[in-house]
Structure 1
């Protein structure tokens, strides 16, 4: 775990996570465990590739090419057992950017779009900011693990839903959807002719005993009605380099999405983002394997720490580096829960209600940091529970 034991000094780097602590939480002694980036340096091959590119000193217009496409194809085949075509790839600065463009390209104002809640807050914006109708399918918490209410899911699709934004693996509840679940979703969307917009940015962050199933990998028929969004940015801590890609096998859909992208002026990627993507997928796998050992240790540390506490339950986490904490037994209204965490525990977490009404009484913790910090944050919360409740 030597690569992951120390936190790089992030203050003074314009870090959203660290440099905005006081403005967000009202004090500078709050431990930030919220925004989804890591307190780890990127893999050495990525840093070396970026250093070499920077030292070249020329940062003119850049394009994606067959060797880069091959890196992506090889990565997806090795990690997810999915053969994709290089011709199906479209690039953009980020997954959310692609989803915004897809919503505008393939749906119209007042069209209904389905999401499964609680879910990543930008999903709500994807619907509402473009004057679409938000339809929700609430996930069901059973025995400390979330499941899909497929009866409700189908009833919602029957109402004329045009697109379904799928979060796989799921942020924030940590589910890595099983093949059976993914197949049921795909079959229902095919039955009601619903476009699938699949956010799979956490696809590589999967714990032992689980397997990510890209929904587009199920069949050619499913793939033809799916836009799959992926990126190395969550996997290798490259979010600030703004690089992602979409897998769009249907030529007509791909041309329409590409045309819309060009109308927005999104005609090329960040030069350093391209460099980092290629290096990460070509040489970053050993780093990722070690990272997952650290994350699994951190996940288990948090789970064990709260195992015998009545106030907080840790939801079973199968993927991502995000822990979903059920704090409803604390007996606090949500704003008081938020204040308890930042003022009493001195830990900066994501407010559960920002993930929708189904997040009321929950908090989200980012464990992608050295184990010592995870232990400190966990201990701060437990001590606050002992002192104030």
Structure 2
């Protein structure tokens, strides 16, 4: 059938018109109306001739609306034997919304088009494309969105095929996975490929994969968190920044007052403030061995695991090779949980640094 058709009779004896849908009309009254077909050539409905079973004087109001055409009405008189209703329909036209005439529909149309660019999931993007396509809108924003969606699907498919080829070397798969994460940040293949690079021996590859996972895919779990912490502790860039902060504070004559403040803060009842004090001392360095012994005691007695972990990381970042520090780390390595893992990492790094000694200006002063 072509669209939705309504038929109404108005006779002298009837006060209110009766409305019937064409597909619910009685076969005896409209035998040919139920068998009307749309022509395949010009997509216009043919003329429908309906024979009245009970001929009466009156008028017939005929409304027709094609799937993509305009509504037309014909009002004809009935004769004693037959009623002839001719349906006229405008030619099929593309539907273009005017923002001034239909502001609400226009806003909804823009929302659907924008969802294609940044869908919350691939399923939502496909649903938006289907909705716009079925409605037949030809507005420029819709056409552009559909074309971009087609290009995006082709690009994602090509990148996935390239990633599945398993090309030689580590550089090309990493570049492919990074590009795929930019094009489709919900792509599982890109996420899995990038996660494997967090264990790569090359720091440059780890940093690039971590940047794509956190910045594009928005993956925030224990794996990416540990990767960020490792980068902050061992990246040459962050070590330089940390040292520069300490030297700047010294050149401005602020270092003594800052040491006094953060050393007192180590005794603060608040866990958060104690963690901040340890981090600050990691950037400033330790003024004398008394503070080092205080930190070693805190590792054994402080009830906050976060504080103890930050102290262990401070030993590593300041490259403290004191025998008491190494002995304490070996004891903590024998335990369980997060603190034991951090102690094991710090111990390995300090042992490597002892094999290749370097000078660190932020160590213990005396």
Query: What is the TM-score of this pair, normalised by structure 2?
Result: 0.23
Query: What is the TM-score of this pair, normalised by structure 1?
Result: 0.22
Q: Larger C-alpha radius of gyration, 1 or 2?
A: 2
Between Structure 1 and Structure 2, the one with more helix by share is 2
